[in-house]
Chains A and B, each alone.
Chain A
Amino acid sequence: MLPVNDCLSVRGLGLRLPGVTGPQDLVRLVGGTSAAPSEVRRFEAPYTDLDPVDRLAAGPVEPRMPPGVAVRGLRALPHESLLALAAAVTAEDAASPSDLRLAAASPSDLPLAGPSPSDLRLAAASQRDVRFAGASPGGAGWTGTPPGGISGFAAGVGPVAVLWASSSAGLAEYATICVEAAVLDPGLSSPIIGPASAFNGPAATVSIRLGLDGPNETVTGGTTAGLTALIEAGRFVADGAAARALVGASATVSRWSLAGLAEDFVAAEGAGCLAVQPWHDGDPGVRLGRFHRVGLDRSRLVTESRDLVRAALPPGGPRLGAPPGTGAAAGRGATGGAAAVGSGPMIVSALDVGLVEALAEVHPGPVWHLERSLGDFGAAGGFMAVACAVAYCAGARAPTSLLALAIEPSGNAAVMEVFTWGASTSSSVW
Chain B
Amino acid sequence: MQLTVTDTEDPQIIRVDEGRIDAAVAIQFKDAVREAVSPATARVVLDLGAVEFIDSSGLGAIVAAMKGMGQGQRLDLAALRPMVDKVFRLTRMDTIFVIHETVDAARDGRGS
Is A bound to B? no
Q: Using CB atoms and an 8 Å cutoff, list the residues of chain B in contact with chain A.
A: none
Q: Using CB atoms and an 8 Å cutoff, list the residues of chain A in contact with chain B.
A: none
